[in-house]
Amino acid sequence: MDPKIFDTFSEFLATLGIENDQDFNFTIHDFDELVPYTPIESQRFRANYYTFVLVKKGEGYHCVNDLCFQMKQNAFYFTIPGHLRSFAMEEPWCGFVITFTAGFLKTFGNVNGVKEFPFLINEPLPVMELKSCDFEGLFNFCDNLHKEYKNRPAYPEKVFSRYLTILLYKTKTLLQEYQVSVGLENSPTKIVMEFKRLLNENFHAIQQSMEDHIWKVSEFANRLNIEANYFGQLIKRETGQSVKAFINHKTITEAKALLVNSGQSIAEIADMLTFSDVSNFNRFFKKLEGITPRQYRELKK
C-alpha cells in the first residue's frame, strides 16, 4: 500500500485519533495538550507541509526516507514536504510542533523563502541537540507564539507570517552555528531536490521576464540529464506526486501570492504566469481551488 499523503496537519492527526480543527495553513501545538497518551507510533507517510519540532525532553525517534534519528533532550529538527516520514513517541514529549505550507510562506511572508532560506528545499537534517541557552531562547519564542495562536488574533495570517519569518531566521542562524548537515547518498532523493530547485528557478526566471513558459516534464528531465519517462516515474515513486502536480501546485501558489500581494489585474497575472489568455487561467484556478481568482482576491482582502 502506498503511504498516505496529507495536505494538512489536522488530516494527519485524525489518523492518530486526535481531533483538531485547522483554519489555515499554519499551526503550532503544545505536545502536552496535543498528545495525551504514549507510546505512539506513526505509519510511514508524506506531508505537503513543513514541520518544525522542538522537544525539551522525551524519548523516541523520527525517520526521513531511509535515515532515522533518535530524539534527544533539547532537540530541534525540521522536515520538508514530500519526503517519506515516520516517528515514534516512546515517552511523552514536552515541547512544540509547528507546521506551515510553502503557499502560506509565499503568500503572507515578506521574504523570498527559497532564496533566503535554502534549507527549505535542501536535504533533511538530523536532530540538533541545542545548548541550554540556545534551546531556552527558542523555547520561549515558541511559547509566546503558542499563546498568540490560542488567542486567535484578528488577522492571524499576517500575525503568524511575521512569527514564521523570525523562526526561519532563528533556524538559519542555528544551522550555521551548529554546522549540521547530512549527505544523502540516495541518488533519487538528490534528483527530487534538484527538480524542486529547478522548479523554483523556472518560476523566478518567468517573473523576471527571462523565461516565457513553464518548463515541460521533458525540459526538466533534460536539465537533469535523465530520460523523461524515468524522471516522471522517479518523482512519482519518491514523492507520491507527479511532476505535473508539482508544477500545478507551484503555479497556484505563485498565483495566490500575486493576487494577494500585487496590484496587478487578473489578466496581467495570467500573462505573467504564461497562460495564453485570462479565461484559461480562470479555469485552471477554479479547477484547483473551487473558486475564481477574483473571488479568491476578494476573500483575502
164 within 8 A of 99, measured Cβ to Cβ: no
Mean pLDDT for the chain?
87
Into which CATH architecture does domain 4-178 fall? Sandwich (2.60)
Lowest mean pLDDT among 136-140, 193-197, 294-298: 193-197
Statement: residue 182 has pLDDT above 70: no
Q: How many residues does the chain have?
A: 301
> How much is the average pLDDT of 151-165?
91
For residue 36, the model assigns a pLDDT of 72
| 0.75 exceeded by pTM | no
For residue 254, the model assigns a pLDDT of 92
pLDDT bin (cut points 50, 70, 90) of residue 82 is: confident
Same fold, 4-178 and 187-299: no
For residue 19, the model assigns a pLDDT of 84
Lowest mean pLDDT among 48-52, 113-117, 215-219, 274-278: 113-117
> How much is the average pLDDT of 141-165?
93
59 within 8 A of 66, measured Cβ to Cβ: no
For residue 139, the model assigns a pLDDT of 97
Q: Which CATH class is domain 187-299?
A: mainly alpha
Closest by CA position to 149, among listed 133, 167, 129, 137: 167
Statement: residue 197 has pLDDT above 70: yes
For residue 184, the model assigns a pLDDT of 47
Cell of 54: 522542538
Cell of 144: 509566546
Separation in Å, CA 288 to CA 49, 255, 296: 18, 12, 12
Alpha carbons within 13 A on the beta-carbon side of 194: 16
For residue 185, the model assigns a pLDDT of 45
Which residues, other chains included, contact 221 with Cβ-Cβ below 8 Å and sequence gap of 6+?
Answer: 227, 228, 230, 231, 232
For residue 125, the model assigns a pLDDT of 63
Domain ranges of the chain: 4-178, 187-299
Residue scoring higher pLDDT (65 or 260): 260
